Amino acid sequence: MKPILLIDDNPLQLKIRETILRQAGFQVSVATTPESALATLRALPEHVGLVITDHLMPGCNGAELVRQIRATSLWLPVIVLSGMPEAEPEYQGLDVLFRVKPFPPAELIALAQSLLEASGQQRGAA
């Protein structure tokens, strides 16, 4: 299964989610800025199976980041985690799963597993 690219500018949130996902058996790459996440995706697009990002980040919010991802990786599944439910409309038409924090670890694991499996099947059939 391809790695998850986890993006969050909050080091504590990033480490917690990274630990949860790694303990569940996922490979995880991390980025602390949208710019570093986009650099990873440009350099190794075939090595990312799922993006999980925060909504609020300095310089570029999650919706802007997803628009940039969609410009080159239409197929890539994206989960947006936010403490701001009112931000969800910003993602309309971007084909993301928007979830409000706090988001239970077991649900994050199940959702990541489901999206990675579906993504692998779709790409394998293409």
pLDDT digits (tens, 9 = 90+) for 23-38: 999 999 999 999 999 9
79 has a pLDDT exceeding 90: yes
CA atoms lying within 13 Å on the CB side of residue 17: 30
- Report residue 17's pLDDT band, with 50, 70 and 90 as the boundaries: very high
Burial 70-81 (b: 16+ CB within 10 A, else e): beebeebbbbbb
Alpha-carbon distance of 37 to 103, in angstroms, equals 22
State the pTM of this model.
Answer: 0.92
pLDDT at 126: 38
Q: Return the closest-CA partner of residue 35 out of 67, 13, 65, 12.
A: 65
Identify the CATH number of the domain defined by range 4-120. Answer: 3.40.50.2300
User: If DSSP codes are grouped into helix, strand and coil, which group holds residue 65?
Assistant: helix
